[in-house]
Amino acid sequence: MALEFEQHSFLKELGIERDNFGCFSGEWKGSGEEILSYNPATNKLIAKVRATSEEDYEWCVKRSLDCRKLWSSLPMPERGEIVRQIGEALREKKLLLGKLISLEMGKILAEGIGEVQEFIDICDFGVGLSRQLSGKCLPSERQDHVMFEMWHPLGIVGYITAFNFPCAVFGWNSAISLVCGNVQIWKPSETTPLVAIALTKIIAQILKRNGYPAEIASLVIGRGAIGEKLAKDVRVPLISFTGSTKTGRQVSKLVHERLGKTILELGGNNAVIVDKDCNLDMALRAVLFGAVGTAGQRCTSTRRLYLHRSIYSNFLEKLVGYYRQVAIGDPLDEKTLMGPLHTKMAVEMYQKGIEEAISQGGKVVYGGKVIRDNFVEPTIIEVTPQTKCVQAELFAPILYVMPFDTLQEAITFNNSVSQGLSSSLFSNHISHVFEWLGPCGSDCGIVNVNIGTSGAEIGGAFGGEKETGGGRESGSDAWKQYMRRVTATVNYGNALPLAQGIQFGTS
């Protein structure tokens, strides 16, 4: 079978070969099935990967267990220094990695580079955390006693990540978890294995250069069976999973059956509400990026648009004009604004979604066609808020547009779906802004004003409510999920008073 490999010289600069091993724990191996990496823009084979077998997985976990004590016992600032160096290495290879993400995932080059920048930014954030993570000294009710609240590493943390952000989501987890003192096992999407291999080689090089075992950061590339094995493994206290709500339910069940911990970043069915009193130009640009960026394959992509009835026709007309200007094509071409959908199956879902919307009374006002292969038109469909298709997350560039009359009505529409990730209100009405942000406003984990649903900063905790899973990654105090809390009490006196003043024993 002919490979595209030779057409892309930057692959060798990232350590990618025509044939690769997909299991790493200090050294590379792989005795499982052959996994093929395709370029979604051409549907041509890029390279091959020998996946992780069950035996490889056991070898990997054992090596991870062997080095967890070493890593967890290091002073946190020393671990932070390693993360700093990882960030610097990513800076040096940012363009190359951005090209690889575009090649293998299909997002445009600017977004591929942006993904690497996210990893760099969270490394910077993690370095700062390594100098300031602290517990508490709590007042004790007993004489000559003091209570401490301390945080310790969990041990091994497992990551199961999705195709649409093959670099950034791993980075959100890895940079923080490594600083917290955990070793890691990463199971990436089997459709973006080359990005995972390139990132793992960069991290391994940094660890080895500093005299630490590279198996601190292990990799297991494989299909669902390997992910299931990781989810079931009692030796892995925490599983961070990013993907669909359907698969997330299965992962949650497997992990919680063994009383493990999870961070779940699942489906998003995100809405933008455009009030009559707002900067319409800002809203238009935000909706365009939110709905069309990454070909609608972000968990934060804008899928529902609620327009105040008084501006509905004007806004929709201008939005269609913006859509007509979207350049669709090779994601490595800097002029391109929308690349291909990731797989042929995604194209089929796109077509099926449009057919279902039309069968339910929806009206396509722009797009709706497959251009060629994995390339499709970004699509706008007019529906009513009660239309059934609005309730489902469709991972494609399809935007449902609906009118509203009052803000309370729009908030009800926003909250009417089972997902709860990201949401945005465009308004210059101060009371509307704070109603939206208040306890009876948006029920999502990310609630924005005058910015779109997509493009979260790493400084804030990222995640959502309801069927989005409730987990939090990246910034703020999301680090607490990668550690275990210990409440410790020290008696430095000569008596043994009991809590609550209880008297027990002989006089």
Cα separation, 454 vs 111, whole angstroms: 12
Cα separation, 306 vs 321, whole angstroms: 18
Pull the structure tokens for residue 479. Answer: 């680090």
Q: CA 212 → CA 74, 173, 298, distances in Å?
A: 11, 20, 35
pLDDT at 506: 64
Per-residue pLDDT of 107-141, as tens digits, reads: 999 999 999 999 999 999 999 999 999 999 999 99
Q: Is 17 a catalytic residue?
A: no
**pTM of the full structure:** 0.96
Active-site annotation holder among 111, 115, 265, 377? 265
pLDDT at 135: 93
pLDDT at 505: 81
- Give me the tens of pLDDT residue by residue for the chain, a chain 507 residues long: 568 999 999 999 999 999 999 999 999 999 999 999 999 999 999 999 999 999 999 999 999 999 999 999 999 999 999 999 999 999 999 999 999 999 999 999 999 999 999 999 999 999 999 999 999 999 999 999 999 999 999 999 999 999 999 999 999 999 999 999 999 999 999 999 999 999 999 999 999 999 999 999 999 999 999 999 999 999 999 999 999 999 999 999 999 999 999 999 999 999 999 999 999 999 999 999 999 999 999 999 999 999 999 999 999 999 999 999 999 999 999 999 999 999 999 999 999 999 999 999 999 999 999 999 999 999 999 999 999 999 999 999 999 999 999 999 999 999 999 999 999 999 999 999 999 999 999 999 999 999 999 988 999 999 999 999 999 999 999 999 999 999 999 999 999 999 999 999 865
Among 208, 128, 241, 245, which Cα is nearest to 175's?
A: 128
pLDDT at 28: 98
Q: CA 57 → CA 27, 29, 61, 93, 352, distances in Å?
A: 13, 10, 6, 29, 37
Cα separation, 403 vs 98, whole angstroms: 39
Beta strands in 139-275, from DSSP E residues, in sequence order: 145-153, 156-160, 183-187, 217-220, 238-242, 261-265, 270-274
Cα separation, 361 vs 396, whole angstroms: 20
Q: Write down all domains in the chain, each with its CATH number in brackets.
A: 5-266+469-486 (3.40.605.10), 270-462 (3.40.309.10)
pLDDT at 131: 96
Q: Quick check: 199 and 25 in contact, CB under 8 A?
A: no
